[in-house]
Each structure stands twice: as C-alpha cells, then as structure tokens.
Amino acid sequence: MTTLSLTVNGGPVRAEIDPRLSLADFLRENLALKGTHLGCEHGACGACTVVVDDMPMRSCITLAASCEGVRVTTVEGFDDDPVVARLRQAFRDEHALQCGYCTPGMLATARDIVLRHDRPDIEQIRAELAGCICRCTGYRGIVRAIAHVIETKSQATAAKAATS
C-alpha cells in the first residue's frame, strides 16, 4: 500500500491505495465519482478522460500513485466551469448527445480545445477529437458544438477589444 495525497474537484483527498490502482478506478471506486467512464481500459477511447493539472489525461492508463500532489477535475467538478457550461448547452443545441457514455471524456477534451484554440477549422477540431470515440453521434454535432463555443468566445474577445 502507498499513501496518495491530491486534490480532486477542488477538495483535498488522502488515501491508502494499491500502487497498481489506475486513476480511473481510484476515482470511481474509492471516491464514488462515477462520471469517469471506463470504455476500452487501454487509453484509446477517451471515455475516461479527466483533467490533471489543466491537461486532459486518460485516467484508465494513469496510475493513481503517479498523481501525488496533482489537481484532478472530473466531469463532476465542472459544475461551475463557464466553458463547460457553454459546451453542455452547445452539445444540447447541436444534438451532440445520444447515449452519453463518451460525454464526460468528450467534455474534458472539448474544454481543452476551446481553451487552447482561437479559430480552428473543422478539420483541426476533428483531429483534436481523434482520441475520443463516440459510437452514436457521428461527431458532426460534437464538432459543431465545439466550433460554436469557440466562435462565441472569439466574438466576445473581439467585442471586448473593440470597447477597450
């Protein structure tokens, strides 16, 4: 057993864990954060994506013990995040939701795309989403939702600059 101390969704967490425990299993089983979904358990599908120190990371292939001292945000921790709030609305508006299994990881990835890019084209958004598999939607709605949030962010930035 090893002791793990980290911050999860803004709160301190300390636990005794098996050194081989994945971050996904730690979040789901030890902390009852069931929004982190397990799909392939090989890091290929993206369903388990969480944000670790502001970077999206596949929690199924990340050892929890390697997260000593980090900040982890799961889908449950995005309740007050304005970017994720806009993404959630855009996902609804663009019909980017069906079964919802990929949605937590997709939102974590989409948030990263929105925060890093000012004007990506559709192909760049698709390339950024390559590590997230959705078997229901065909991606069109997801890509449109992300593009819409980026567009409104760019418009707000331009409007702010014009008034300054």
pLDDT of the chain, 164 residues: tens digit per residue = 999 999 999 999 999 999 999 999 999 999 999 999 999 999 999 999 999 999 999 999 999 999 999 999 999 999 999 999 999 999 999 999 999 999 999 999 999 999 999 999 999 999 999 999 998 888 999 999 999 999 998 776 666 666 76
Domain boundary assignment for the chain: 2-78, 82-163
The candidate with the shortest Cα–Cα distance to 151, out of 84, 90, 92, is: 90
CA atoms within 13 A on the CB side of 67: 34
Q: What is this structure's pTM?
A: 0.91
For 2-78, which CATH superfamily applies?
Beta-grasp domain (3.10.20.30)
CATH class of the region 82-163:
mainly alpha
Count of CB atoms within 10 A of residue 124's CB? 13
Rounded distance, CA 50 to CA 34, Å? 12
- Are residues 92 and 73 in contact, defined by beta-carbon separation less than 8 angstroms? no
